[in-house]
């Protein structure tokens, strides 16, 4: 695919009808048509009827670009996520979009793919669309990105984390404490040989830090950390690289389920309760799947949908607290 490639044109270029096309057909001026759309009470019923008929006949759809230019309000918001296919963030996009779409906002979606340069690029591309706010997972990875957002002078919501120096609003949870909670639970249950598997993005790293610090403080062996690529299948073979491990914290449920599959192949998975598992495994995210499989997956539950809805509300108003900790919950099931 060449970079000059562009959208194919329609067979017949009948460009969309404009306000003045409708006006001409209805025998009024364009501003009257505009009023029929926005302030129908100001237009005489008889005139309004004629205009509405003309709009229907031509299939008039207002041009939001022009509206946005004229009013300096685009009714759109930019959303930046690392990836959308990895459903942990899909819930958040769904949540914020359910909150915003009924209000007439369009969601402009961009993916950084965990790539700092691409993140900056997408941020700038997003901003060039003049969204009224930006919602992103995490914080800008570079100072350039942060500066871009600050200069834009629009509400910004950072999510899925609690950054120390946020740009504006925050809707997330404490990733470090999540790691602490998991390590404490595992060590208290007598596990001694811990490992952390997952990505090495900032949020995963914060979980690792909490996990590592706590495990060592409580007297367990120094945990190992295995950085895996993004798809769960990689974690199936992780076991081979962790000889002697008796408890694993996975950065997300997909990795946890992949690792469970590896344990099963190695004959190290029991159908019984957590105490009987040769290797305990705890995930993060609380995917619906985790509840349905056997053994059921213990996990740090994070409400991605609520994060999205909260972020939406934060950018809709300046009242009230700007930094919201949605918390997490250690949900214990059969895996650890």
Report the interface residues with DNA, using CB under 7 A: 15-16, 18-20, 28-32, 34-35, 37-38, 42-44, 46-48, 60, 62-63, 66-67, 69-72
Q: CB under 8 Å, gap of 24 or more: what pairs does 320-327 form?
A: 322/166, 322/168, 322/169, 322/170, 323/162, 323/166, 323/169, 323/170, 324/169, 324/170, 324/171, 324/172, 325/162, 325/172, 325/173, 325/174, 326/171, 326/172, 326/173, 326/302, 327/173
Residues from 114 through 133 that contact its own copies (CB under 8 A): 122, 124-130, 132-133
Output the smallest distance, CB 331 to its own copies, in A.
15
Give the strand pairing for 329-331 and 76-81: unpaired
The entry of its own copies, DNA, none near residue 34 (CB within 5 to 8 angstroms by kind) is DNA
Q: Which lies closer to DNA via its Cβ, residue 123 or residue 281?
A: 123
Output the smallest distance, CB 230 to its own copies, in A.
11
Q: Which lies closer to its own copies via its Cβ, residue 185 or residue 333?
A: 333
Q: Which lies closer to DNA via its Cβ, residue 53 or residue 117?
A: 53
Helices in the chain by DSSP H: which ranges? 19-26, 30-38, 45-58, 64-71, 90-100, 116-127, 143-152, 175-188, 202-217, 253-265, 288-292, 304-316
Output the smallest distance, CB 168 to its own copies, in A.
9
- Find where tokens 């090495």 sit: 200
Output the smallest distance, CB 85 to its own copies, in A.
4
CA-wise closest residue to 294 among 325, 322, 263, 320: 263
Number of residues that bind its own copies (CB under 8 A): 93
Q: How far is CA 220 from CA 15, 110, 245, in A?
A: 69, 42, 12
Element containing residue 77 per DSSP (H, E): strand 76-81
Residues from 11 through 40 that contact its own copies (CB under 8 A): 12-16
CA-wise closest residue to 282 among 303, 252, 326: 252
Output the smallest distance, CB 57 to its own copies, in A.
11
The entry of DNA, its own copies, none near residue 270 (CB within 5 to 8 angstroms by kind) is none
Residues from 53 through 112 that contact its own copies (CB under 8 A): 59, 61-66, 68-69, 72-74, 76-77, 79, 83-87, 90-91, 93-95, 97-99, 101-104, 106-111
Q: Which lies closer to DNA via its Cβ, residue 66 or residue 218?
A: 66
Q: What number of residues does the chain have?
A: 336
Among 39, 44, 46, 151, binds its own copies (CB under 8 A): 151
Whole-number Å distance between alpha carbons of 144 and 210: 28
The entry of DNA, its own copies, none near residue 287 (CB within 5 to 8 angstroms by kind) is its own copies
CA-wise closest residue to 257 among 242, 245, 269: 269
Output the smallest distance, CB 40 to DNA, in A.
10
Q: Which lies closer to DNA via its Cβ, residue 29 or residue 231?
A: 29
Q: Which lies closer to its own copies via its Cβ, residue 53 or residue 294?
A: 294
Output the smallest distance, CB 175 to its own copies, in A.
21
The entry of DNA, its own copies, none near residue 159 (CB within 5 to 8 angstroms by kind) is none
Q: Which lies closer to its own copies via its Cβ, residue 133 or residue 181?
A: 133
- Beta-bridge partners for 323: 170
Whole-number Å distance between alpha carbons of 328 and 238: 26
Site for its own copies contains 192 (CB under 8 A): no
Among 227, 268, 293, 306, binds its own copies (CB under 8 A): 293
Q: Which lies closer to DNA via its Cβ, residue 10 or residue 243?
A: 10
| Residue 271, burial from CB neighbour count under 10 angstroms (0-12, 13-18, 19+) | exposed
Whole-number Å distance between alpha carbons of 2 and 249: 43
């Amino acid at each position: 695919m060449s970079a000059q490639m562009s959208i194919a044109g329609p067979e017949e270029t009948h460009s969309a009808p404009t306000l003045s096309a409708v006006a001409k057909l209805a025998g009024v001026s364009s501003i009257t048509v505009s009023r029929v759309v926005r302030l129908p009470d100001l237009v005489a019923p008889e005139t309004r009827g004629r205009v509405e008929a003309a709009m229907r006949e031509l299939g008039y759809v207002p041009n939001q670009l022009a509206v946005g230019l004229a009013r300096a309000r685009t009714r759109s918001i930019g959303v930046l996520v690392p990836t959308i296919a990895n459903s942990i963030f899909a819930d958040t996009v769904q949540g914020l979009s359910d909150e915003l779409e009924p209000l007439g906002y369009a969601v402009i979606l961009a993916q950084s793919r965990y790539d700092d340069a691409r993140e900056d690029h997408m941020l700038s591309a997003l901003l060039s669309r003049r969204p009224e706010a930006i919602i992103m997972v995490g914080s800008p990875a570079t100072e350039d990105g942060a500066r871009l957002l600050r200069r834009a002078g629009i509400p910004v919501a950072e999510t899925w984390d609690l950054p120390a120096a946020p740009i504006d609003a925050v809707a997330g949870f404490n990733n470090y404490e999540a790691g602490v909670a998991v390590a404490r639970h595992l060590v208290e249950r007598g596990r001694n040989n811990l490992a952390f598997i997952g990505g090495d993005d900032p949020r995963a790293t914060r979980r690792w830090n909490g996990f590592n610090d706590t495990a060592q403080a409580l007297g367990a062996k120094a945990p190992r950390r295995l950085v895996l690529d993004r798809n769960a299948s990689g974690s199936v073979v992780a076991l081979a690289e962790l000889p002697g491990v008796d408890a694993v914290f996975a950065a997300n449920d997909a990795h946890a389920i992949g690792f469970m599959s590896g344990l099963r192949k190695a004959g190290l998975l029991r159908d019984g309760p957590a105490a009987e598992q040769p290797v305990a495994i705890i995930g993060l995210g609380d995917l619906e799947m985790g509840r349905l499989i056997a053994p059921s997956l213990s996990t740090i539950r994070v409400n991605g949908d609520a994060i999205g809805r909260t972020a939406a509300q934060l950018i809709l108003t300046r009242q009230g607290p700007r930094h919201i900790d949605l918390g997490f919950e250690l949900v214990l099931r059969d895996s650890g």
